Amino acid sequence: GSSRVDGRYHTAREDQVLYLSSSPELSMAESARLFRTVPMHRAAWFTCAFEVALERVLDLTSPAVLDTLGLSIADLVQPGPAGFKRPQTLATAARAAGFDALLAPTARPHMTGANLVVFLEILPTTGDTVVKAA
């Protein structure tokens, strides 16, 4: 869906992104929000585990990192699409700075956990697999 619709940490023109969640429950909650805007049959929904090797991850769940950036969690979890502008700008800057991914707090109300937003176009294109199903 990332190539069809803007997300919190990407725009449709920056479609080389993979959103991963810290739990199956969070993954389904995040997907349910997206699938209200992009038609997809519920039978196509599934979860799986991934093993990911990344070198530079910007941890937006860290209060110290947010403080350094002059941000709060509230800045990152505003309802979208209007609430996506600041996170999208941050993600674009992180890409430009060479980060492989963002670790970001969930914006789903009443849920805990985080999402790993992987910038696929930045990852090495050697023959090594850096994202694989676990």
- In order, the DSSP letters of 38-87 are S---GGG-----EEE--S-EEETT-HHHHHHHT--HHHHS--TTGGGHHH
Beta strands at 131-133 and 50-52: parallel, antiparallel or unpaired: antiparallel
Q: What pLDDT does 12 receive?
A: 79
Q: What pLDDT does 33 receive?
A: 63
Q: What pLDDT does 120 receive?
A: 83
> Per 3-state DSSP, what percentage of the chain is helix, strand, and coil (rounded to 5)?
35, 20, 45
Beta strands at 114-119 and 50-52: parallel, antiparallel or unpaired: unpaired
pTM: 0.78
User: pLDDT tens string for the chain (134 positions)?
Assistant: 455 677 788 887 776 888 888 877 767 777 666 666 666 666 666 677 878 789 999 999 999 999 999 999 999 988 877 888 999 999 999 999 999 999 999 887 777 889 899 998 776 665 555 555 55
Q: What pLDDT does 17 receive?
A: 85
Q: What pLDDT does 68 receive?
A: 97
The amino acid that residue 101 corresponds to is A
